[in-house]
Structure 1
Amino acid sequence: MGRIMLRGKGKKKADNEPAAESKEPNLDHEEKGQNSAGTVEAAVPAAETAVQEPSPEDKLAEVQDKYLRAVAELDNFKKRAEREKNELSSYIKVSLFRDLLPVLDDFGRFFEHVENGEAVLDQGFVQGIELIHKSLLKLFEKHGVEAIEKAGVPVDYNIHEAVLTQPVENKDQDHTVVQILEVGYRIGDKLIRPAKGKVGLFNQ
């Protein structure tokens, strides 16, 4: 009986040995898998780098494109700055000469009174006023200020203001400026003040 039990124990031990061996990891297989995965991962970035890296020609074309864009933007900026400068200068001129027009009107009224004999003044004083008036007119002329004072022309409501109307017998005088009542002024296409006048109307 004792021998049978000993043999049974020995058999169980022998049966357990293969099971223990099966639990040991296969290190060679795992190392091969890791090495294979590492090789693939290393190959992917290398392939991506090869695709994304631009050629020297592409780099040169990109630099040239950026340069041309910068030159165009600079040119547009200069043109815009010059245009804004001219517009500002024109606006300042219009405002300045609009403020000077009442002074010019006063000179005109003064000389009308003198010519009509309504004011008897020293001749030297009158000559001094005339010099100032001429200097002011030269200033207007220097800066391109143009007087709108011509009568007998068709009414242009961009530069004329009709304050009175007058019947006319000639059809050709219909809607023409018969008389200028207040001189207008402009600088180029910028109106400083419209010319006020009497406009003819033809009645059939």
Structure 2
Amino acid sequence: MAEKKDKKQLKQQKQSAKKVDKKATKATGKKATKKAAKKPSSKEVISQLKKQVADLKKKNGSLDDQYLRAEAEMQNVQKHDAMDAQQIRKYSGQKLAKSILPGLDNMERALAVKTPDKGGKQLKQGVKMVYDRLTQALSENGIKEVKVAGKPFNPEYAQAVQTVPATKKHPAAQVVKVLQKGYRLHDRTLRPAMVVVAK
């Protein structure tokens, strides 16, 4: 009787195993096997590892290249920013200087007026002191008069507002007279000189 019972249990276990096998086949699409999957040989493992190393070296080289390009780009941006900042500092007084120049012109006109009396001469002397100090301050900040009188006409520094016939003393295309002074801030023209040119 015990033998029948053991056979019955064995039969039930086989049926249960078949059901599990069918379920596994449905789930994975493969038949479940009792044998373990075959392990790859050492040559295959070495080959796979060599391939992985080659792929990683290639990826590393690409990343190194990207890094170097980004580093070079960053250095270029920093250089450009430094140059921009230098230009801003160099020409920061341009607007102020342009607004001061008409006052300087008025002082020059006042100094050109002849004054016969003592009070006028003292006033003129005071204007001259202010004028000298102002031109010195402008010069210290890179603002200088453009000297064009008697030189060949250059449209970068001068603007011709009148022409006169050329002579031996003033050949063609030479600045004969300056009507209004021109000024530069370092290497940049703030205001061109208004001139009379020989033609």
Structure with higher helix content:
1
CA contact (8 A) 2:161 2:195 kept: yes
Structure-2 residue corresponding to 1:98: 98
State whether residues 176 and 198 of structure 2, in contact with CA within 8 Å, keep that contact through their aligned partners in structure 1.
Answer: yes
By how many angstroms is 1:147 displaced?
Answer: 0.7
Compute the RMSD of aligned alpha carbons: 3.9
Give the TM-score, by structure 1 length: 0.65
1:199 aligned partner: 197
Q: Which amino acid aligns with 2:185?
A: I
Aligned to 1:134: 132
- What TM-score comes out, normalization by structure 2 length? 0.66
TM-superposed deviation, 1:67: 5.6
Aligned length, in residue pairs: 170
1:143-158 → structure 2 map (5 Å cutoff):
143-158=141-156
Identity %: 24
Q: Alpha carbons of 1:109 and 1:120: their partners in 2 closer, same or farther (altered >3 Å)?
A: farther
Comparing 138-147 and 46-55, the one that deviates more: 46-55
Could you say if the C-alpha distance between residues 182 and 122 of structure 1 is closer, same or farther in structure 2, counting changes exceeding 3 Å? closer
Cα contact 2:150–2:170 (8 A) shared by 1:
no
State the alpha-carbon separation in 1 of the partners of residues 34 and 160 from structure 2: 100
1:165 partnered with 2:166:
no
Call closer, same or farther: CA 1:71–1:143 in 2, change over 3 Å: same
Q: 1:172 and 1:123, CA in 2 relative to 1: closer, same or farther beyond 3 A? A: closer
What secondary structure sits across from 1:197 in the alignment?
Answer: strand
- Range with greater deviation from structure 2 (192-201 or 136-145): 136-145
User: 1:189–1:33: structure 2 CA closer, same or farther, 3 Å change rule?
Assistant: farther
Q: Deviations over 1:98-135 (max 9, x none)?
A: 1110111111011011xx23786354433332221111
Aligned counterpart, 1:31: 32
* CA apart distance, 1:53: 4.8
Look up the match of 2:179.
Answer: 181
Alignment-mate amino acid for residue 145 of structure 2: A
Gaps of 5+ in 1: 1-23
**Paired residues of 2:111 and 2:127 also in contact (CA < 8 A):** no
